[in-house]
Structure 1
Amino acid sequence: MSVTTATVRYFAGARAAAGVPEETLGLPSGATVADALKELSVRHGEALSRVLLASSFLLDGVAVRDRSIPLSDGIVLDVLPPFAGG
């Protein structure tokens, strides 16, 4: 079975919840953004799961609206939780 490798980068509260600034995720070929998020929730538990529910995502710098988008090998997935600002 072929594997898709993605680099996941966490920002702000997502970084705190995951406990790491980034990590590599290996998923079966054809895996989607939703599959990656499910794996990250399993890997890091409830704290990150809550953050993921409210987060926005970028794939190689492009905003993701459809979580059924398949991941390509070597892609970068950025996890952007809501930011407070002023």
Structure 2
Amino acid sequence: MSTLTVRFFAAAADAAGTEQETWDPGDAPTLGALRTRLVERFGEPMRRVLANGSFLVDGVVRRDDGPVDGDRVDVLPPFAGG
């Protein structure tokens, strides 16, 4: 993987101030590292989103902190109803 596309939706985009960034995969080889980096970069608003949100890694919902095994991660806030 040469780059990792990180896309932000709804409240995650508001917290990030953008809808998409491209990162070097060395910056976040796991979802746990990505989660930490997002909070360091965007602060408390992103921490609140990630507390109950989820990730889509190449279209697969993930809530764990395991390896990023794709080239696109979508950061999703919690949605109404679950």
TM score, norm. by length of structure 1: 0.78
User: 5+ residue gaps in structure 2?
Assistant: none
Structure showing the higher helix proportion among its residues: 2
Q: Which runs of 5+ in 1 are unaligned?
A: none
**Kindly, what percent of the aligned residue pairs are identical?**
47
SS at match of 1:31: coil
**Secondary structure of the equivalent of 2:72?**
strand
Q: How far apart in 1 are the matches of 2:64 and 2:40?
A: 21
Rg bigger for which structure? 1
Contact 2:5 2:20 in 1 (8 A): yes
- TM (norm. structure 2) is 0.82
- Deviation (angstroms), 1:67: 1.5
| Displacement of 1:64 | 1.1
2:61 aligned partner: 63
Decide which structure has greater strand share: 1
Residue of structure 2 aligned with 1:23, choices 15, 21, 24: 21
Deviations 1:20-67 (A, max 9, x none): 001112242882111011111111111111111110111000111432
* Alignment correspondent of 2:51: 53
2:76 to 61, 66, 80: 80
Q: In the aligned structure 2, how far is the partner of 1:48 from the partner of 1:29?
A: 17
Aligned length: 81
AA in 2 matched with 1:77:
V
